Amino acid sequence: MPELRLNLITKEWVIISTARAKRPEELKSRQRKRAHSEYSATCPFCPGNEAKTPGEIFRISDGDKWKIRLIPNKFAALNRDAESKRFNDGLKHVMSGFGVHDVLIESRQHNTTTALLPPEHVAEIIRAYKTRFVELHADHKIGHVIIFKNHGEGAGTSIEHPHSQIIGTPVTPFQIRRRIEESISFFDISGECLVCRIMAEERNDGIRIVHETEHFIAFIPYAALSAFHTWIFPKRHSGSFSEITEEEIRDLALNLKTVLSKLYYGLNDPDFNYVVRSNRPRDAGSAFFHWYISIVPRISTAAGFEMGSGMFINPALPEESAQFLRSVEIPSL
């Protein structure tokens, strides 16, 4: 029989569809055509093509060569030079397009991905995230900063070269405000952080855990919104990604790489998105909010029911998906 499960963090009901359920191995993506060359003459992110991008904000170097570059997005969704203004005309509310939109070029190599990078290189990427996250939040006109990665055409990327993006908006998006409000509500009722409570119960159950390291735990939530939807929670309570320590950065790099490697080798390198969900640095001491990373493989497609109801249909049992990923053998890290 199908089940409806409530995702306590998103407050969304999910249909775990036993009628549509597939074995995890049946959800592997079709083998994609990946670039074979480490360099593409037409790729603006490849070394030697730096003039094709806006001037870099900063770089992380390896000797006399760059290893990681942060640049403004050439086709930015928001404009850093715009004046931050708000206008109201009756029920019509509008703001100027102020904001920041950056691209983090993650590697010199055109045909790689996070799953194939050394853990220390992944740690460098996370350090760059933290640096820019703190820098952008230092601007009082920035209301929220989101760090995300789109991998593959089905996840919304248009350039194959490994990269992620950082956007600072002048407002706090409704989804973020809603999750903060739900966290406050749970804390007011229970006196506990919702994420800490979920993490304790998942560790106690054990059946949905994918990978655990010293400082982080990765698992498929009880009411996963889609197949192989995975969360990575920091074990130490913290309201903001800005508070991640150097030891935790190295540990997160290993955890994130491992999870993405299991998806890469177990599901034939599926398209995916990941996002760092975090409050502002000045809210790091919040007792009710807890930052985390959400990874969403693009294996199934939302359709009319999801659009019309706001509910999701997950064709994979979270417990079986987690067991499958735990069993995936990956080459030595």
Residues with catalytic annotation? 163
Distance CA 303, CA 287 (A): 37
Distance CA 209, CA 130 (A): 26
Please name the residue that has the structure tokens 């928001």: 78
Distance CA 48, CA 72 (A): 18
Structure token digits, residue 39: 């360099």
Q: Which residues contact 313 (CB under 8 A, 6 or more apart)?
A: 14, 15, 17, 20, 300, 305, 306
Q: Which residues contact 181 (CB under 8 A, 6 or more apart)?
A: none
> Which of 77, 104, 13, 32 lies closest to 272 in space, CA to CA?
32
Distance CA 318, CA 17 (A): 11
Q: Please give the backbone phi and psi of residue 284, each rounded to the nearest 5 degrees, phi first.
A: -60, -30
Structure token digits, residue 46: 């490849």
Which amino acid does the sequence have at 229? H
Q: Please give the backbone phi and psi of residue 96, each rounded to the nearest 5 degrees, phi first.
A: -65, 160
Distance CA 109, CA 38 (A): 5
Residue 236 in 3-state DSSP? coil
